[in-house]
Amino acid sequence: MWINNQSSQDDFILLGFLDCPWLETPLFVIFLVAYNFALLGNISIILVSCLDPQLDIPMYFFVSNLSLTDLCYTTCTVPQILVNLRGKGKTIGYGGCVAQLYFFLALGSTECILLAIMVFDHYAAVCKPLHYRIIMSQRHCIHMATGTWISGFANSLVQSTLIVVVPQCGHRVIDHFFCEVPALLKLACADTHVNEAELNVLGTLLLLVPRTLILGTYVLIAQAIMRIHSVESRWKSFNTCASHLLVVSLFYFTAISMYVQPPSSYSHDRGKIMALFYGIITPTLNPFIYTLMNKDVKAALRRALTKSFGSRGDDLWKGDPRSTDRCVFLPERILGMEVMREWYVKCHRVHRWSRTGKKQ
């Protein structure tokens, strides 16, 4: 009752961990530390990707987009959670709840599509190395990133609308620590089967379809890698793809377990644990798994600390050999220069054979 007395009729009450008050202080410390690490890691990735010419390649362009997504993803939920863990009100206004729901869904949808585009970048590097700079040109990358963000926010607009229009009949108590789809649908006082079906269709399109494409693409990448004769290049290829596959697994496993299911079968305790993973833990771990353990990024951070960034120009995307600061593109990073030379020689022989009709 003391919660209801401190909240207005338009506020939602976030129960969070009210049934375990002894958990609030440890969780506050954990969330605060995780949020600071998320800020530090993702901001570092964005800065070095934008400022260091050696990271001016499509791979790190998409990684910086992923870091921006994770940075906003945690910011739209964690500060509110921290306030509620230390305060007595544990409430959020109606407008704040709708805004939180919209941005959380938008950023999650954007990340779903972005992870699929990043595996396409790996596919182009491993399976189409000689055409990589054409396929992943600067213009194409900007178009793909822009389309990803627009698609994510458009999908969120549809899903948020489907949630907001559901009548709640004055129910204001949310058994969660932020405004999320399954928890909000539990407040409905009308039949929500149509809304659940529509949300499941959207969840399938944004979660199951990209995950299937990612796994199928990795099968093609693995087949291409196994045809590489150099053991060192093969190991580098697997190592580069493994970090992305780990990020994909962490995000998709927890998100699918939450959103590709009927909300009527939603479990509050399980939902809170899953939300911790894909809402806080995964965005915090992403920069450390995917880039900060990468020698190129660590070298870029060292250059940043010593203020030795070079000039930045369009020739870096084009791979102009006259540039002294020319960045090494993803095929060279993954396959190695020796394997790339073999590709060039093989392509040159095939080209001469096609012109002369004589096999070299």
Mean pLDDT score, 16-44: 86
Quickly state the pLDDT bin for 292 (edges 50, 70, 90): low
Cα angle 41, 119, 245; round to 5: 65
Sequence-separated (6 or more) residues with CB below 8 Å from residue 325: 53, 54, 310, 311, 316
Dump pLDDT digits (tens) for 239-267: 777 778 888 888 887 777 776 665 555 56
Q: Is pLDDT larger for residue 279 or for residue 355?
A: 279
Q: Which residue has the higher pLDDT, 11 or 79?
A: 79
For residue 21, is pLDDT > 50? yes
Question: Rounded mean pLDDT of the chain?
Answer: 77
- Residue 17 makes CB contacts below 8 A (sequence gap 6+) with 23, 24, 27, 85, 177, 272
Band of residue 216 on the pLDDT scale cut at 50, 70, 90: very high
- Residue 91's DSSP bridge partners are 13
**pLDDT greater than 80 at residue 80:** yes
Q: Answer yes or no: is pLDDT of 268 > 70.
A: no
pLDDT at 301: 77
Given this model, what pLDDT does residue 336 score?
A: 54
Q: What is the pLDDT of residues 300-358, one digit of tens each?
A: 777 777 765 544 444 445 444 444 344 445 555 555 555 555 544 445 444 444 444 44
Task: Beginning with the edge strand found earlier in the chain, give each strand of the sheet holding 91-93 in spatial order.
Answer: 91-93, 11-14, 173-174
Q: Which residue has the higher pLDDT, 67 or 259?
A: 67
Task: Please tell me the predicted confidence (pLDDT) of residue 38.
Answer: 92
Q: How far apart are CA 9 and CA 20, in angstroms?
A: 25
Q: Check if the beta carbon of residue 224 is closer than 8 Å to that of residue 240.
A: no
Mean pLDDT for the stretch of residues 234-243: 76
- Residue 350 has a pLDDT of 40
The predicted structure's pLDDT at residue 192: 76
pLDDT at 265: 55
- Which ranges in 173-294 belong to alpha helices (H)? 181-185, 193-203, 209-226, 231-259, 268-276, 282-287
pLDDT score recorded for residue 262 = 59
Query: In angstroms, rounded to a whole number, what is the distance separating the alpha carbons of residues 106 and 116?
Result: 16
For CA atoms 338, 343, 348, 349, give the dihedral sign: positive
Within 10 angstroms of residue 37's Cβ, the number of other Cβ atoms is 16
Please report the pLDDT score of residue 83 as a whole number: 86
| Element at 192 (helix H, strand E) | none
Q: Which of 56-60, 192-196, 269-273 has the highest mean pLDDT?
A: 56-60
23-37, 52-66, 127-141, 265-279, range with the lowest pLDDT: 265-279
Confidence of residue 299 (pLDDT cuts 50, 70, 90): confident
Give the contacts of 293 (CB within 8 A, at least 6 positions apart). Answer: 243
pLDDT at 36 over 90: yes
Angle at 315 between CA 41 and CA 240, to 5 degrees: 40
